[in-house]
Structure 1
Amino acid sequence: MQSAVEFATNTRIHIALETSTLDEAIAFYRTMFAQEPVKVKPGYAKFEVADPPVNLSLNAAAQAHATSGASHFGVQVKSTDAVHEAKQRFETAGYGIETEEHVTCCWAVQDKVWVRDPDGNAWEIFVVLDADAAVHGKADSDVCCAPAAELVTLG
């Protein structure tokens, strides 16, 4: 049998997030992906995004919190202009952001913008400028790829 859902790639990532504020989460991900959800039902919303290829489900929960096992999520783009476009979308929508330019992270030099969804999940939109940096990251720390703790969300 074939998939009942069409998408351009052979595979795509599926992420299911719990949210205590479904309407706010829909607004956040509408801003992130610059598109409407393909399905909204009581307690549920789904975004099927072609670029990047992801199936993102939002599930209402009485008490959601950022997943302790996930450090953060990210969308890798191909240019600093694309990072700036994402930054502009989030700023226009009123989300708190953190910008890092020419930062070394995960053994690579990157430009990026950080933002948190309404439930505290950290997202980075980033471009790799140099794939072979000489150090791991901030002061060669093990924890280099994370937003500032004080990064705030709407709500």
Structure 2
Amino acid sequence: MILKPHLAINVKNLDQSIQFYTSLFGVEPVKVKLGYAKFDLEQPALNFTLNEGGEVSGGINHLGIQVASTQDVLLVKERLQRAGLATFDEMNTNCCYARQDKIWVTSPDGHQWEVFTVLEDVKQNDDPTSCCITEEEPQKESGTSCCSE
């Protein structure tokens, strides 16, 4: 039996969100209906759906995609920038008890996504009180936003 996680989020504007998530994931949705779109992803394995309307914040801190290497992080960054999306780098950052290379991008509804790789586990955070984003945007200082693991 193959299991695939499912994540459904509410969005304000379905067309804008389809454009954003097509850029983020690098694939088109497999289904688009009135007020609904479905991405059936192989990498990462995920059934991801967009539902137009409803509350969009829902207490989500941030979302992430872990990749195998820094080169993979940079390839995703290039793809997102070619699609016209603004990214923020956070390379060689120490958070969540791991040294990581990552980039951040924000959806039209303000959902923050990180694409990251773990370089190594560490025994201590640079700033243990800051692990996990609590502001509108990722903090711009290395080691001050996170929580990938």
Give the TM-score normalised by structure 2.
Answer: 0.85
**Which SS does the other structure have where 1:67 is aligned?**
coil
**Which SS does the other structure have where 2:122 is aligned?**
coil
Distance in 1 (CA, whole Å) between partners of 2:11 and 2:22 is 15
Distance in 2 (CA, whole Å) between partners of 1:77 and 1:147 is 24
Residue number among 99, 124, 131 corresponding to 2:89 in the alignment: 99
Residue number among 11, 16, 27 corresponding to 2:8 in the alignment: 16
| Matched length | 138
Aligned equivalent of 1:43: 35
Report deviation, 1:10: 1.9
Give the TM-score normalised by structure 1.
Answer: 0.82
**Which SS does the other structure have where 2:47 is aligned?**
strand
Identical aligned pairs, as a percentage? Answer: 40
CA deviations on 1:82-119 (whole Å, 9 max, x unpaired) are 10011112212222221111101110000000111111
Q: Which consecutive residues of structure 1, in runs of 5 or more, have no partner in the other structure?
A: 1-8
Q: In angstroms, what is the RMSD of aligned CA positions? A: 1.8
Q: 1:33 to 1:27 in 2, by over 3 A?
A: same
* Alignment partner of 1:66 is 2:57: yes
Report deviation, 1:144: 2.2
